[in-house]
A and B are shown apart, each in its own frame.
Chain A
Amino acid sequence: SQQGEEDPQALSIQEGENATMNCSYKTSINNLQWYRQNSGRGLVHLILIRSNEREKHSGRLRITLDTSKKSSSLLITASRAADTASYFCATDLNDYKLSFGAGTTVTVRA
C-alpha cells in the first residue's frame, strides 16, 4: 500500500524560481527519502532524513520533516531546466521496504 502522498501532483515553474512539494504519510517512520525520476528512467536517490531530524540540506535541495504532522517537504532552489522530472517521497518503516507516493511532476520552463 502507498503510504506517502505528494502534493501537488504537478508543478510548472520558471527557471530560477524555487519549487516546493510536500509529502504526507500515515504511520510512524524510521526515515523518509526523496527520489527523482527522469522520464522513462530509473529513480535516483536524492536525500534521506531520519525520524529524529527536522531539516537537511544537500546542494540546492532542502528537506524538512514534521513527525507530529506526518509530513515532509522538498524545496529545490534556483531551479534549472535539468530539474524537470518527477519527484517521489518514500517512507521507510524499518522493515527493509520503502513505500512510495504517486509523485510530483515538475516542469521547469526556460
Chain B
Amino acid sequence: DGGITQSPKYLFRKEGQNVTLSCEQNLNHDAMYWYRQDPGQGLRLIYYSQIVNDFQKGDIAEGYSVSREKKESFPLTVTSAQKNPTAFYLCASRRGGQSYEQYFGPGTRLTVT
C-alpha cells in the first residue's frame, strides 16, 4: 500500500520544547515538501528537498529545520525559535522530472501551549 505517512496525527508540546514531525514515503519519489496550514488559509511552504542530502528553504523557514538523509524520510523539527508553532503540518512528495503533481500525507496537528 503505497503512500505518505505522517505521525503522529495529533501532537501536544509545551512552549520552549523542540518537536520533530515524521514524514515517510514509499512512492520512490525524489522530492519532498513540508507545508504549514493555519485555519482558513492556504498552504505555506516551509522547506523542500529535491534529492537526498539537499534541501532548500521555503517561504516561512524561520524556526524550523529539516534533514534528508534517506530518500524515504523527511523529518521536520519545530524549534523553540518558532514564534507561533500551533498549526496543521502537511508533508508532500513529488516524483520529479516532468511529473508535477504532489501527493500529500494526512497531516499532523501540532498544539503548543
| Residues in A lying within 8 Å of B, measured CB to CB | 1-2, 4, 30-31, 33, 35, 40-45, 48, 88, 90, 92, 96-103
Contacts and interface: CB of A to CB of B under 8 A. Distances in A.
Contacts of A98: 45, 102
Query: Which of B31, B92, B102, B106 has the largest number of chain A CB atoms within 10 A?
Result: B102
Nearest to A45: B101
Contact of A33 (B31, B35, B45, B101): B101
B106 A30 contact: no
B106 A88 contact: no
Interface residues of B, number: 28
Given A88-B42, A97-B45, A42 B100 contact: no
Given A96-B50, A97-B58, A2 B44 contact: yes
Contacts of B103: 45
Interface in B34-78: 35, 40-45, 48, 50, 58-59
